[in-house]
Amino acid sequence: MDDLAFGSRNKRGDWTPNEPASTAPLFVFPPKPLALLKWIPSYFFPFNLLFAASAYVWWVYLLSDLSRFQNFDLFLAIQLYFLNTCALMIFYGLFEIRLYVLRAQGQRFKFNGRWPSDNKSDVFWFKSQLIDNVLRTLLIAMPLWTFIEYVILSFYAHQVPSLPALVDHPIYFAALALIVPVIHETHFYLIHRALHWRPLYRLFHLVHHNSVNPSPFSSLSMHPVEVFLYLGVAFWHVIIPSHPLLALYQLHYAGFGAIPGHIGFDKIELGEENALDTHSYIHYLHHKYFEVNYGDGLIPFDKWFGTWHDGTKEADDRMNDRMTKRRNSAA
Ligand SMILES: [Zn+2]
Ligand SMILES: [Zn+2]
């Protein structure tokens, strides 16, 4: 595909889409019913549906026998770690191999003109972003992912007699499933905003921002505290009345779903004519500029609180004004 029909490339080789980034047409005033109707399919396809389906498979075929979680079983925890890790390595690996190892679509639709592998830096383990990101994912993110999952399933294992059946409360559970992305967006915005408070940033969040030019495995490359806060969104399903299937969906939405923001490409080509929108521009701009786009745009938190950046020159000017004011007030 000709990416210059959809955007432009500067001298450094960075590609910028013609269309500024936009937030979802939810929570806008006055309401935009037509835009909302047009947007609804993208709420489900392809990612949300995929993470809901993976949670369903995990629950129905692998984890629904909750009696196994009543007492701690190390062998079961290890099995769960391998299951989650294999699934994640396959899922993230498909994007990494196609786009960054095989470079199957070259630099077409790639935001940053440079490849992360060209940037050897001391901030990364073994000076390599990819090795650093993969090791942090395997050694930090996946054990914590499994720990959170195990704790939640153990909680439900002790609730079995009173566990509400999905079929007994179809409207409540359908509504809860529908707002899983909204819960995620709110939780993510709040913890992310807090992690940009300077002392917390230096202690915990800096690790994730080492990947200024993110690639798929940057998604969960985080300090352990940040992983716990981020994937801990699933704990909302032990606080509110819920069901293990929905807790798994929330966890998969956060874990597998971290990838769209870190793909580094605006579109993934599917043949000569078609391409899949990754919706990664908003979070790419966060990695580029740090102090903008703390949320992913499902709820326009950044517009409400003055930190929205849509990739345009005007947004650049607004950001620079804000930074200057902040520096002046700190001086
Ligand atoms: Zn990120
Ligand atoms: Zn950040």
Q: Nearest ligand, CA of residue 283?
A: 1
* Separation of CA 289 and ligand 2 centre (Å): 9
* Separation of CA 220 and ligand 1 centre (Å): 8
* Residues of the chain falling short of pLDDT 70: none
Strands 7-9 and 15-17: antiparallel
Instruction: Share the mean pLDDT of the chain.
Output: 95
User: 42-52 pLDDT, tens per residue?
Assistant: 999 999 999 99
CA dist 89 and 138 (Å) reads: 9
> pTM for the complete prediction?
0.95
Asked whether residue 75 is domain-assigned, the answer is yes
Q: Nearest ligand, CA of residue 218?
A: 1
Asked whether residue 305 is domain-assigned, the answer is yes
pLDDT score for 13: 96
* Separation of CA 284 and ligand 2 centre (Å): 10
Q: Cα 122–124–126 angle (5° rounding)?
A: 85
Tokens of 62: 């692998």
pLDDT score for 163: 85
* Separation of CA 163 and ligand 1 centre (Å): 36
Asked whether residue 3 is domain-assigned, the answer is no
* Separation of CA 299 and ligand 2 centre (Å): 17
Asked whether residue 17 is domain-assigned, the answer is no
pLDDT score for 211: 93
* Separation of CA 33 and ligand 2 centre (Å): 32
CA distances from 230 to 63, 243, 331 (A): 22, 20, 33
pLDDT score for 253: 98
* Separation of CA 1 and ligand 1 centre (Å): 27
pLDDT score for 162: 79
* Separation of CA 287 and ligand 1 centre (Å): 6
* Separation of CA 292 and ligand 2 centre (Å): 9
Asked whether residue 241 is domain-assigned, the answer is yes
Helix residue spans in 137-243 (DSSP H) = 142-157, 170-178, 180-195, 198-200, 206-209, 224-231, 236-239
* Separation of CA 131 and ligand 2 centre (Å): 21
Q: Cα 256–202–280 angle (5° rounding)?
A: 30
Q: What residues contact 189, with CB distance under 8 A and at least 6 apart?
A: 294, 295, 299, 301
Q: Is 204 in contact with 226 (CB distance < 8 Å)?
A: yes
pLDDT score for 165: 85
The number of folded domains in the chain is 1
Q: Is 133 in contact with 221 (CB distance < 8 Å)?
A: yes
- Outline where DSSP puts E strands in the chain: 7-9, 15-17, 267-270, 274-277
Asked whether residue 31 is domain-assigned, the answer is no
pLDDT score for 78: 98
* Separation of CA 249 and ligand 1 centre (Å): 20
Asked whether residue 295 is domain-assigned, the answer is yes
Asked whether residue 28 is domain-assigned, the answer is no
User: 197-221 pLDDT, tens per residue?
Assistant: 999 999 999 999 999 999 999 999 9
65: left (phi over 0), alpha (psi -120 to 50) or beta: beta
* Separation of CA 307 and ligand 2 centre (Å): 12
H-run or E-run covering 87: helix 74-95
Q: Nearest ligand, CA of residue 261?
A: 1
* Separation of CA 63 and ligand 2 centre (Å): 33
Closest CA to 108 of 118, 93, 98: 98
CA 222 to chain centroid, in Å, comes to 12
Provide the domain limits for residue 319. 66-330
User: 127-167 pLDDT, tens per residue?
Assistant: 999 999 999 999 999 999 999 999 999 999 998 777 888 88
* Separation of CA 1 and ligand 2 centre (Å): 32
Q: Nearest ligand, CA of residue 293?
A: 2
SS3 268: strand
Q: Nearest ligand, CA of residue 216?
A: 1
Q: Nearest ligand, CA of residue 192?
A: 2
pLDDT score for 330: 80
* Separation of CA 225 and ligand 1 centre (Å): 15
